[in-house]
Amino acid sequence: MSPRSFSRRSAGLRRNLASNAGTIFVTGLIFLLLGMVVLITENFRSYNRQIKAELEFEVYLSDDTTPIELYLLTIAIRDVPGFNALRLQDRSEAYAQMQELLGKELLPNGGFNPFPNTIVVDFTEKTSTLAAFGAAAEELATFRCIENINYGEEWLLTQEPLFAFLNLCSTSLALLVFAATVILVFWAVSKIVYSRQEEIKALLMHGAGFRQIGIPLILEGCALGTLGAILGELLLVLLWQASCQLPLQLAFISTTSMVAIPLSGFFSGITAGYLVVTRRILP
């Protein structure tokens, strides 16, 4: 009988199928863009982490460092905020390493060793920053036995603002894509409302409210957003697989992001649907 067909059809994605498919496709493209932003951001952050993990804070010791001075210095280093680990690199060890790199013609066995004894300090990833390294260097500067401290200050000075800028760009882009999705789904649901205005007017005349008119439209917006996001993610998988043929070695997005993208589609759909219903139909 009709009641069942009424409720089924009024909820329907079946109507305006071509229009809805178009919306899902465009939403998919927008979410593909979001996915690409996430993929690039995550790879960039992973690269950033890797670089930070490799950053070393080197304390060069003078030749006349006494064991007591060395002991006191290591205690002071362990107290530096963000300290992770330290190891003592003997000058002969440093010479041997360099010999391996540069060859024995340049650094022959038994030749003059210009390298000092060094304490190599690792900081935790979060504190591997220019500011933390600078503060640690300042704190240790009072030790007489320290000849010099090296932490790639010049390199960090150029890289850190770049990392911060790229981070800001990727976050802004992700927010922009989310906003674009809300706008697109809002437009799509508005179009649905426009195409069904006679139906909506009839339902309003019968005294229908949010439950009968609003919820189906919000669900429709929600479905459009979620399906668009899933399509975008599938396209991202294809694009990523294609990129694997290139020497880029990009990692795919994390599981959290894989769940977050359809969820953002879901929420952008709900937001857009709710906005249409409360602004255009049931103010």
Partner 1 sequence: MSVSLELHNVSFQYGDSLPLLSNLSFCLEEGEVLWLTGAASCGKSTLVRIILREETPNSGSGSVLGKSLFGPNGYDQRQLRQDIGLILERNLFLPHIDVAGNVAAPLLVKGLSRRRIGRRVKEALRQVGLTGKARASVSELSKTERRLLTLATALAKKPPLIIADLNPDDIDRGYLVPRLLESAAYGSAVLLLAQSRWGEGREYSLSGGTRVAAFV
Q: Which residues bind partner 1 (CB under 8 A)?
A: 1-7, 9-10, 15, 198-199, 201-209, 212
CA gap 204, 282 in Å, rounded: 9
Q: What are phi and psi of 89, to 5 degrees?
A: -110, 115
Q: Of the two residues 11 and 173, which places its CB atom closer to partner 1 in the complex?
A: 11
Distance of closest approach, residue 283 Cβ to partner 1, in angstroms: 12
Given a contact cutoff of 8 angstroms between Cβ atoms, the answer to whether 222 and 22 are in contact is: no
Judge contact between 232 and 29, C-beta under 8 A: yes
For Cα atoms 126, 127, 128, give the angle at the middle one, nearest 5 degrees.
95
Task: Output the six-digit token pair for 238.
Answer: 């294809």
Task: Please report, for residues 22, 39, 138, 153, the alpha-carbon distance to residue 126 in angstroms, rounded to integers and kept in the order given.
Answer: 44, 22, 19, 17
Q: Are 217 and 276 in contact (CB under 8 A)?
A: yes
Cα distance between residue 145 and residue 156, in whole Å: 26
Closer of 5 and 245 to partner 1 (Cβ) = 5
The minimum distance between CB 206 and partner 1, in angstroms, equals 4
Minimum Å gap between C-beta 211 and partner 1 is 9
Residue closer to partner 1 by CB (options 135, 208) is 208
Contact 46, 200 (CB under 8 A): no
Query: CB–CB of 57/120 below 8 Å?
Result: yes
Q: How far is CA 272 from CA 150, 180, 225, in A?
A: 54, 11, 9
Residue whose CB is less far from partner 1, 88 or 202: 202
Q: Which amino acid is at 37?
A: V
Closest CB to partner 1 among residues 40, 282: 282
Cβ proximity to partner 1, 2 vs 142, nearer residue = 2
Rank residues 111 and 209 by Cβ distance to partner 1 and give the closer one: 209
CB of 262 to partner 1, least distance (A): 29
Q: What phi and psi, each to the nearest 5 degrees, are found at residue 45?
A: -65, -40
At closest approach, how far in Å is the CB of 20 from partner 1?
A: 15
Q: In what order do the strands lie in the sheet with 83-89?
A: 83-89, 118-123, 57-61, 146-150
- In the complex, the smallest distance separating the C-beta of residue 218 from partner 1, rounded to whole angstroms, is 18
Closer to partner 1 by Cβ: residue 6 or 47 = 6
C-beta of 25: minimal distance to partner 1 in Å? 24
The least distance separating partner 1 from the CB of residue 4, rounded to whole angstroms, comes to 8
